Amino acid sequence: MELKKVRQVISSELGELPLKEGGGTFTPASRKRETQGAEVAENIGYVETPTAAVLALTLNASLDPGDFRNINNDTLTIFLAGGGQHMMPRAWVTEAVELGAGELKVTYNSAKSEKLA
């Protein structure tokens, strides 16, 4: 599956986020599989661990970095170039957002993501 470039992000907390050109990457929630070895080949298997959805953004500095401080239950709608849409419910900001060189870098995580279109 090929994911296209992030084109637009709408936050239920902050509205449309001022995405900088080329300033977004999205990884849907998934599972990590770790192979478990065994003495006999037929007994080799894996252990599956869920992984969070990750949305890493570079935004134009039109928002106050403090606006992100208390975000821990946001719903994000992610629009991809080419028409795909995904949603990240109950998303949280992973670390403090800093202002630098006229831009903000923010990373959201969510326990799950859902493909809408």
Q: In the chain, what are the domain boundaries?
A: 6-115
Burial class (CB in 10 A: 0-12, 13-18, 19+), 80: middle
Question: What is the spatial distance between Cα 43 and Cα 39, in angstroms, rounded to a whole number?
Answer: 7
6-115: CATH topology is: Elongation Factor Tu (Ef-tu); domain 3 (2.40.30)
Tens of pLDDT, residues 16-41: 999 998 889 999 999 999 999 989 88
Q: What does each C-alpha distance from 75 to 21, 39, 47, 49, 83 come to in angstroms? A: 22, 46, 30, 23, 19
Q: Is the dihedral of CA 64, 68, 69, 71 positive or negative?
A: positive
Write out pLDDT tens, residues 36-90: 998 988 899 999 999 999 999 999 999 999 999 999 999 999 999 888 999 999 9
Contact call for residues 104 and 97 (beta carbons, < 8 A): yes
